Structure 1
Amino acid sequence: MAEPDEETAGRHPNRVRLAIKLTIVVLAVLLATAVTAIYLASERLGDQIRRYPGVFSGLDDSARPAPTAAMNLLLVGSDSLATQPTTGTEATRPGFVPGAQRSDVIMLVHIDAGYHKATVVSLPRDSWVNVPGHGMAKINASYSIGGPTLLVRTVEGLTGLRVDHFAVIDFAGFEALTDAVGGIDVTIDRTTTFGTLVLHAGPNHLDGTQALGYVRQREGLPGGDLDRVERHQNALRALLRKAVANGSFSDPVRAYRFLDVLTRWITVDETMTNGELRSLGWQLRGLRPGAVTFLTAPVSGLGREGTQSVVYLDPGRDAQLWRYAGADDVEGYLRAHPGSALGNSTP
């Protein structure tokens, strides 16, 4: 075989260097294009979210619990039965009308300082608590009287934890999210009926309409509203599990479709900017359903206050729960009170 002449051999290193430079330039352009596309997509999704103005602006910061490295999100499910959505940019009706709307679902989501685990604590809507400026009342009355701001004040006073963000979604939004992930799978203890919906003992696969019946049913459940609270938690857990299982958080196309639905149906406080949403999404990228604990604020019993049926919270155990949560050690509370976390099936 003929040896390459010196001139040809001398040009090879230059060609290699040129190829490397071109490759770097191409990769840089592709990376910049991808980053730009992700940014623009996140801006579009963020712009779809409806914001509640002034949720925190009316609060006396010096009287509130101190901020920490952890994050507490107050998640509300509106009990509006309007045929038109009341939350998110899909809303065609007012999102909040004083006295006309109460919160059917109230959950405080505590995300630990390392963003590795989360605890979702349900506060029964009929919990008899102190509503600042209004005395003792059902906790969901605080939302009806004073909207998100008064509900935040009430929850902070009850838990001693600072609420960093507020979000609300209505029944129509929950139904849309369920359909967006292809339905959810829940297990119930015994067969129940709700209108034309029959839920069989054991596993059930539910589409959006059926899932809505599952979380709304109260009659026919042994524990009434307390059992329904467990169903709320179980539905949210099932939704998270299904979203992870079908790639709604990992596959770019599926993720965009899921987030497109979510951002059109949810309303958040105005301090949750697009940039903060991107940051939160990045911080939570490793959080999995198995690292999310669901439980209900401890209850001492049921009773009546005048004509109202109410739920009495257990002051001692509640204080203990919030203390453990504030220390990012809900596991410690569960060791002291085994069986408190949501089980694999619900009534």
Structure 2
Amino acid sequence: MTAEIKKQKHVGRWVAVGIVGVIVLALLAAIGWYFVRVNPSVQQVETIETAFPEESLRPEAGEGDGQPVNVLLLGTDARGEGDSLLTDLGDRADTILVAHIPPDRESVQIMSIMRDSWVEIPGHGMAKVNSALAYGGVPLMVQVVEGIIDQRIDHVSIIDFAGFEGLTESMGGVTVNNDIAFSYHGYDYPQGEITIQGEEALIYVRARSPFSDGDYQRVHNQRAFLRGLMTQLMTRENLTNPNRMADILATISPHVATSDTFDLGTVASLGSQLAGIGNSNIQTFTMPTLGTGMEGSQSVVHVNWDGVEEIRAAFDEESMTTFEPPAER
């Protein structure tokens, strides 16, 4: 090999290394800028110091990659002492949802748990599911929900209603397919596709008195809203736009508390895995029930445990792209 050829190969190799180096530096700069931009907002997110029950009380953890991810989502009107979401959380979780992400990451299932569902609360007997928060805080609520789905809850996120309003405004409104027209607190919600934000959106997801079946339609509307929100958030345009995601995070971070497992890296990783999921692959349903009844002086919702067994079996599947949610009561 001539000296000239050796020289050309040497130069070529260094040119290639230089190009790779520039790309790596550019990526590091972008990542660094993104974290600088987002980090102040992340610091405002309250951490739930103890979000999970002790290990011996939990379902077994799966091993290896390709495990499902389950996120417990709570919506609350609490804002207690020291401006903490957690101080007076008690039984004030207005919304209880489980977001299930199967191992193939090709769909998301969102299950509403009606707050009056009559279930076993460990150490306290039968009671409304919502009372777990009053009896034992977030860890007991997690334990109860893990018992229902027979899987581990991986992450917990709580948002208060001020954060909810801010989120809808930062999104420029959320488009919802509203199946029952109603009016409430001065706002009209016609049937069909509507775009709502701020107080209008908050009233929409909290309304139950306009409906003959009360909480059933309320949780149905909550899931319709969440489906619309996720569809808008999970576009590649949003997920690959650091400015937009940073602005959204800055808006809601003072109103959010999360388990320490739900850090920025985890959220970013899940976001990239779910990027591009369409509305047809976001399935929403209510935990199967047998209707309402009375337990002593309490009005409760009776759980359909045979239906819950079907949900547990479905949650164990590798993929749920063909999953058919159970029919509403």
| Cα distance between partner residues in 1 of 2:236 and 2:68 | 29
User: Aligned runs of 1:218-297 on 2, under 5 Å?
Assistant: 218-244=208-234, 247-297=237-287
| Cα distance between partner residues in 1 of 2:273 and 2:295 | 44
| Cα distance between partner residues in 2 of 1:203 and 1:27 | 44
Note if 1:153 corresponds to 2:143. Answer: yes
Residue in structure 2 matched with residue 184 of structure 1 by the alignment: 174
Describe the shift of the 1:306–1:46 C-alpha distance in structure 2 as closer, same or farther (beyond 3 A). Answer: same
Describe the shift of the 1:269–1:20 C-alpha distance in structure 2 as closer, same or farther (beyond 3 A). Answer: closer
Tell whether the 8 Å contact from 2:234 to 2:271 is kept in structure 1 after alignment: no
Note the residue ranges of structure 1 that are not aligned, 5 or more in a row: 1-9, 342-347
Note if 1:125 corresponds to 2:121. Answer: no
Residue in structure 2 matched with residue 139 of structure 1 by the alignment: 129
- Report the secondary structure of 2:238's partner residue: coil
1:261-287 Cα deviation digits (max 9, x unpaired): 243332111233344334333433454
| Cα distance between partner residues in 2 of 1:174 and 1:33 | 32
Shift of 1:131: 0.7
Shift of 1:155: 1.0
Tell whether the 8 Å contact from 2:73 to 2:99 is kept in structure 1 after alignment: yes
Q: Which moved more, 1:177-186 or 1:46-55?
A: 46-55
1:199-225 Cα deviation digits (max 9, x unpaired): 223332212111111111111212100
Q: Which moved more, 1:221-230 or 1:181-190?
A: 181-190
| Cα distance between partner residues in 2 of 1:319 and 1:281 | 29
| Cα distance between partner residues in 2 of 1:240 and 1:112 | 16
Residue in structure 2 matched with residue 345 of structure 1 by the alignment: none
| Cα distance between partner residues in 1 of 2:74 and 2:85 | 12
Shift of 1:234: 0.8
Shift of 1:292: 1.7
Tell whether the 8 Å contact from 1:79 to 1:101 is kept in structure 2 after alignment: no
| Cα distance between partner residues in 1 of 2:33 and 2:151 | 37
Tell whether the 8 Å contact from 1:99 to 1:145 is kept in structure 2 after alignment: no
| Cα distance between partner residues in 2 of 1:131 and 1:22 | 61
Tell whether the 8 Å contact from 1:116 to 1:286 is kept in structure 2 after alignment: no
Tell whether the 8 Å contact from 2:91 to 2:133 is kept in structure 1 after alignment: yes
| Cα distance between partner residues in 2 of 1:66 and 1:38 | 36
Pick one of 58, 62, 67 that aligns with 1:64: 58
Describe the shift of the 1:308–1:24 C-alpha distance in structure 2 as closer, same or farther (beyond 3 A). Answer: closer
Note if 1:325 corresponds to 2:325. Answer: no
Q: Which moved more, 1:282-291 or 1:64-73?
A: 282-291
Note if 1:30 corresponds to 2:20. Answer: no
* Percent of paired sites with the same residue: 29
User: Aligned runs of 1:7-18 on 2, under 5 Å?
Assistant: none
Q: What is the letter of the counterpart of residue 67 of structure 1?
A: A
When the two chains are superposed, the root-mean-square deviation of aligned CA atoms in Å is 3.1
| Cα distance between partner residues in 1 of 2:29 and 2:321 | 44
Q: What is the letter of the counterpart of residue 66 of structure 1?
A: E
Please say which structure displays the higher CA radius of gyration: 1
- Report the secondary structure of 2:130's partner residue: helix
Note if 1:47 corresponds to 2:29. Answer: no
| Cα distance between partner residues in 2 of 1:275 and 1:222 | 44
Describe the shift of the 1:28–1:60 C-alpha distance in structure 2 as closer, same or farther (beyond 3 A). Answer: closer
- Report the secondary structure of 1:334's partner residue: coil
| Cα distance between partner residues in 1 of 2:90 and 2:234 | 36
Shift of 1:28: 4.5
Note if 1:309 corresponds to 2:285. Answer: no
Q: What is the letter of the counterpart of residue 257 of structure 2?
A: T
Shift of 1:330: 4.4
1:234-275 Cα deviation digits (max 9, x unpaired): 111111223346933233322221232243332111233344
User: Aligned runs of 1:43-122 on 2, under 5 Å?
Assistant: 43-56=39-52, 59-68=53-62, 69-80=67-78, 93-97=83-87, 100-122=90-112
1:172-203 Cα deviation digits (max 9, x unpaired): 11111101110112233443121211222333
